[in-house]
Amino acid sequence: MANALEHAPTDNQEEYERDRESLSIPLLSSALSQRSIPNSSSQAAIVGSHVCPIESLDYEIFENEFFKQDWRSRGKSQIFQYIFMKWLTCFLIGLIVSLIGFCNNLAVENLAGVKFVVTSNMMLQHRYGMGFFVFFASNLVLTLFASTLTALIAPAAAGSGIPEVKAYLNGVDTPGIFSIRTLAVKIVGSITAVSSSLLVGKAGPMVHTGACIASLLGQGGSQKYNLTWKWLRFFKNDRDRRDLVTCGAAAGIAASFRAPVGGVLFAFEEMASWWRSALLWRAFFATAVVAIVLRALIDVCLSGKCGLFGTGGLIMFDVYSANISYHLVDVPPVLALGIVGGIIGSFYNFLLDKVLRLYNFINEKGVVYRILLACAISVFTSFLLFGLPFLASCQPCPPDATEACPTIGRSGNYKKFQCPPGHYNDLASLIFNTNDDAIRNLFSKGTDFEFQYSSVLIFFITCFFLSIFSYGICAPAGLFVPEIVTGASFGRFVGMLLGPHSNLNHGLYAVLGAASFIGGSMRMTVSLCVIILELTNNLLLLPLIMLVLLVSKTVADAFNGNIYDLIMKLKGLPYLETHVEPYMRQLTVGDVVTGPLQVFRGIEKVGNIVHILRSTKHNGFPVIDEPPVSQAPVLFGIILRAHLITLLKKKSFLATPVLTGSDAFKLYSSGDFAKRGSGNGEKLDDIEFTEEELEMFLDLHPFTNASPFTVVETMSLAKALILFREVGLRHLLVIPKICSRSPVVGILTRHDFMPEHILSLYPSLVRSRWKRLRIRLPRLTKIF
C-alpha cells in the first residue's frame, strides 16, 4: 500500500507472521513451557475457558487536539464538579461495598448456621446417618448452585479475582471481569460456595466485587443492560477508572476484615502498580466510609436482629485484647515459626500451582466437567469433615468455661458432636463451624488446654490440602481466609509443642502462625501486619508480627513467587514486573521491535484506513506527514484504532486531501472519543461503506496524539521497560537514531517486553538465564 512503510526484510516474513499471530494466542507458549496455557480473562483460564485476546489499557492521557480543547473550554464550575464527582464516587464505592460485605457475611453465617443446627439436632438424637445426609446434601446443593451459576453465566467470576484486578491495575484489559453479570455471580456464588463448607474464603471475592462496583460507577453503569447514569459519566479515560478500581479493591479488603488502614495498604503493596498522594487520600476516604457503615450495621446485629448466627463471625475477629508480655527468650521460637512458615507457605504455592494445572487439563473438556469437578470436591469435603471428628476423643467440659459447654445449636468452642453430656469434641469445634468461628476459636485467649495435639494437627493438615483442592473449582473462592485458618492451626500446634517453655500463650502463637503462613504464601508484609493488628485489636503484637513476616517472606522468596503472581502466570496475563531481567540490559529496543509497520499519512484515504484496520489487529498506528504537508517525512504522532472507527462511523469525509483546521471541532465533540466501558467498543464490521466513500479522505491531525512517548532505537530494553511500566503506556514509539527514509522504526507494546517473547527471539538467553539461576540457588541454600 502507498501509505504503509514496511521495514522488515522480506526473508523474515515467516518470522513476522508467527510474531503477529502470537499477539492473539497465549503468551506462555515459549520454549520454556511444555504445554500451552490458555490466555484468559479470569479464573476460567484454570477451569478451561476459551482463549481470548488480551489488550492493554491507556493509562497515559491521549493528548490530541480534542482533549486539549475540552480542557481549555472548562470553567471553574466544571473543574469543581469533576473533583467533587471523584470524591462522591469514592463515597458511593465505600457505601455499596460495605453493604454488600455486610450482607455477604450475614448470609453466610445464617446459611451455614442453619445447616450446622439441623445437623447438630440429628446428632443429638443419635441419628448419625440422617445428620450426615443433611450435611452432605446441603453442601452438594450449595456447591452445585455456585458452580453452575459461574460456569453458565459468568466464568470470569470464578476464583478470587485478585489476580485479574491486579493485572488490570498493571494495564491489562481482560474482558468481562467488571461486568454486571460478573458482579452478580461473584456475590451470590461467593455466599453459596463459602456456606457449602468448602475451604474457600470471601475476602478475595470481596476485592473483586469492590473493583467491579468501582468500574461500573466509573463508566456510568452498563450500556448492555440499559443501566446507565449520565450524571456519573465524568471519567472518560482509563487513568480515572484505574484510580477508582484501586479504591474499590481497598474497600473490598476493608469490608472483609473491617480493616480500613489495612485495606489501603493492601491496595498499595499488593494491587496497584501506580500510586500517588491524591489516590491515597481517596482510597483512605473510601475505606473510612466502609468502617463507619459496618460499625453501624454491627450495632444492629448486636441487638439480635440479624438471625440466629448474625452475631457470629461478623466481619471482625476481635478475639485477642489481653495485655501480653514477652522477653528475649521468646524471640528464637518466633524466628523458627517464621522460617517454618516461609517453607510451608512456599510449598503451599508449589502444590497449588500443580493442582491448578491438573484442574485446567480436566476442565478443558467442557462445562459439564467443571461442574462435576466442583461436585466431586464437595462430596470429598463432606465425607472428610463429617468423619474426622469421630477420630477425636471426647473431653470433659472445663469447670471455668466462659461459655456454655457443650455448645448446642450455635457457634462456640465446645461442640458436643457425638460426645456424652458434660463433654465436648475439640476437633468438631474447629470443623463444624464457619471459617470465621474457627479462627476465633484458634485465636482465643485462655484456651491453652481445650485442644488436643492430635486434633490441632489433623485440622492443620486438613485445612492445608482442602484449601488447595477447593480453590481451583469453577466457583468464586478466595485464599485469604483459608490461609488464615491454616496458618492459625499451624501456629497453635507450635505453641502447644513449646508449652511451658514459652511465655506466649497458644492463641498468640495462632496469630503469629497465621502471619507466618500468609507471609510465606502471599509475601505481603506491611499491609498484612496492619490487617492482623486490626483483626486482633492489639497493638502490642506489632514487634512480633513484624519479625515473623520479615523472616517468612525472606525464606519463601528463595523458592518461588507469591501465589497471585503464580496464578497470573498460569492465566497468561502479561503482567509487567517492577524489576527488569538482567538480560534486558544486553538488548536494545531495536532488537525486539518487529515489522512490517503500518502507518498512516496525516491526510489519509478512507479506503486505506479501512483496509489496514481489517487486515491487522493493532490498536495504535503512527501518523506521519510527507511532502507537500511537510518538507520531509516527519513523525506527527499516534492515533488509536478506536478513534479511527469513531471517525469512520461519523462519515464526515473530505472530497479532497486538505487540512480541516478548526472545522473538526464543529463536527465532533470530546464525548465521541471518550473511553467506552469494558467490552463496549465500536466494531468496524458494523459500518458499511460505498465505493464513493472509500475514495474520500480523512484529516487525522486533530485526532492524533501529537506528543507520544518515543525512544531511540539504541535505548536499552531495560530502560524502555521502566519507562513503559512507570508511565503506564500502551504504545511506545521507536524512532531511528540516524535519519532514514522513515521517521519511525516501530511500536513497542506490552507483548514486546514479556520474557516469553524476548527469549523466543533470542533462545541463547535461555541458557545463560538458567546458568545464572544454578549459580544463585546454591548460595541461597547456604544462607538459609
pLDDT of residue 69: 76
pLDDT of residue 228: 62
- pLDDT at residue 2 above 70? no
Alpha-carbon gap, residue 426 to 55, rounded angstroms: 52
pLDDT of residue 221: 62
What's phi and psi for 400, nearest 5 deg? -105, 30
pLDDT of residue 20: 38
For the ranges 238-252, 292-306, 412-426, 756-770, the one whose mean pLDDT is highest: 238-252
Alpha-carbon gap, residue 327 to 356, rounded angstroms: 43
Alpha-carbon gap, residue 365 to 236, rounded angstroms: 40
For the ranges 39-48, 274-283, 326-335, the one whose mean pLDDT is highest: 274-283
Alpha-carbon gap, residue 83 to 749, rounded angstroms: 32
Closest-CA residue to 474 (of 378, 386, 570, 383): 378
| pLDDT-based confidence at residue 768 (cuts at 50, 70, 90) | low
* Residue 188 identity (one-letter amino acid): V
- Cα 705 to Cα 243, 636, 725: the distances in Å are 23, 8, 19
Q: Find the range with the poorest average confidence among 45-59, 427-441, 455-469, 530-544.
A: 45-59
**pLDDT above 70: percentage of residues in the chain:** 83
pLDDT of residue 187: 95
Beta strands per DSSP E along 295-446:
395-396, 423-424
DSSP 446-485: S-TTSS-HHHHHHHHHHHHHHHHHHHTSSSB-BSHHHHHH
Query: In this predicted model, what pLDDT tens digit does every residue of 298-348 receive, in sequence order?
Result: 877 777 777 655 454 444 444 454 566 677 888 899 999 999 999 999 999
Cβ-proximal residues to 770 (8 Å cutoff; 6+ apart), any chain: none
CB 633 within 8 A of CB 758: no
What's phi and psi for 395, nearest 5 deg? -115, 140
* Residue 652: count of CB within 10 angstroms of its CB: 16
Question: All 3 cell numbers of residue 508?
Answer: 498468640
Q: What is the DSSP letter of 31?
A: T
pLDDT of residue 773: 45
Q: Find the range with the poorest average confidence among 28-42, 314-328, 504-518.
A: 28-42
pLDDT of residue 212: 94
- pLDDT at residue 19 above 50? no
pLDDT of residue 51: 35
pLDDT of residue 782: 37
When pLDDT is averaged across residues 102-117 and rounded to a whole number, the result is: 87
CB 756 within 8 A of CB 37: no
pLDDT of residue 446: 74
Closest-CA residue to 634 (of 748, 548, 739): 739
Query: In this predicted model, what pLDDT tens digit does every residue of 62-75 receive, in sequence order?
Result: 887 777 777 777 77
- pLDDT at residue 10 above 70? no
- pLDDT at residue 430 above 80? yes
For the ranges 15-24, 659-668, 749-758, the one whose mean pLDDT is highest: 749-758
When pLDDT is averaged across residues 431-445 and rounded to a whole number, the result is: 83
CB 573 within 8 A of CB 163: yes
- pLDDT at residue 729 above 60? yes
- Own/partner pairs, 275-279, CB within 8 angstroms, 24+ separation: 279/243, 279/246, 279/247
pLDDT of residue 316: 46
Helices (H), 626-699: 641-650, 664-667, 691-694
For the ranges 42-51, 104-113, 558-567, 736-745, the one whose mean pLDDT is highest: 558-567
Measured at the CA of 492, the angle between CA 110 and CA 120, to 5 degrees, comes to 30
Burial of 680: CB neighbours in 10 Å, binned 0-12, 13-18, 19+: exposed
- pLDDT at residue 167 above 50? yes
Longest dimension (CA), the chain: 98
15 against 200, higher pLDDT: 200
pLDDT of residue 200: 93
Angle of helix 606-615 relative to helix 641-650, nearest 10 degrees, comes to 140
- pLDDT at residue 767 above 60? no
Residues constituting the chain: 784
Query: In this predicted model, what pLDDT tens digit does every residue of 141-150 receive, in sequence order?
Result: 999 999 999 9
Alpha-carbon gap, residue 592 to 581, rounded angstroms: 15
When pLDDT is averaged across residues 280-291 and rounded to a whole number, the result is: 95
- Cα 466 to Cα 101, 243, 470, 481, 606: the distances in Å are 24, 36, 6, 13, 59
Cβ-proximal residues to 201 (8 Å cutoff; 6+ apart), any chain: 160, 194, 435, 477, 478, 479, 480, 481, 482, 483, 484
- pLDDT at residue 123 above 50? yes
Closest-CA residue to 180 (of 206, 212, 208, 151): 212
40 against 726, higher pLDDT: 726
In this structure, are strands 172-173 and 55-56 parallel, antiparallel, or unpaired? antiparallel
When pLDDT is averaged across residues 424-449 and rounded to a whole number, the result is: 83
What's phi and psi for 368, nearest 5 deg? -60, -40
- pLDDT at residue 676 above 80? no
pLDDT of residue 182: 93
pLDDT of residue 777: 42
Q: Which residues of 401-426 are buried (b: 16+ CB within 10 A; e: fewer)?
A: beeebbbeebbbbbbbbbbeeebbbb
Please, what is the average pLDDT of the chain?
82
When pLDDT is averaged across residues 15-43 and rounded to a whole number, the result is: 35
pLDDT of residue 406: 75
Three-class SS of residue 319? Answer: coil
**pLDDT above 90: percentage of residues in the chain:** 37
pLDDT of residue 148: 95
* Residue 491: count of CB within 10 angstroms of its CB: 30
pLDDT of residue 378: 95
Alpha-carbon gap, residue 231 to 248, rounded angstroms: 20
When pLDDT is averaged across residues 101-117 and rounded to a whole number, the result is: 87
Alpha-carbon gap, residue 534 to 205, rounded angstroms: 20
CB 476 within 8 A of CB 185: yes
| pLDDT-based confidence at residue 741 (cuts at 50, 70, 90) | low
- Cα 75 to Cα 61, 116, 408, 654, 666: the distances in Å are 20, 61, 66, 33, 20
- pLDDT at residue 16 above 50? no
Question: All 3 cell numbers of residue 315?
Answer: 466481619
| pLDDT-based confidence at residue 223 (cuts at 50, 70, 90) | low
Using only the alpha carbons of the chain, give its radius of gyration: 29
* Residue 17 identity (one-letter amino acid): E
Cβ-proximal residues to 97 (8 Å cutoff; 6+ apart), any chain: 206, 209, 210, 213, 248, 251, 252, 254, 255, 286, 290
59 against 265, higher pLDDT: 265
CB 571 within 8 A of CB 697: no
Q: Which residues pair with 637 in a beta bridge?
A: 623
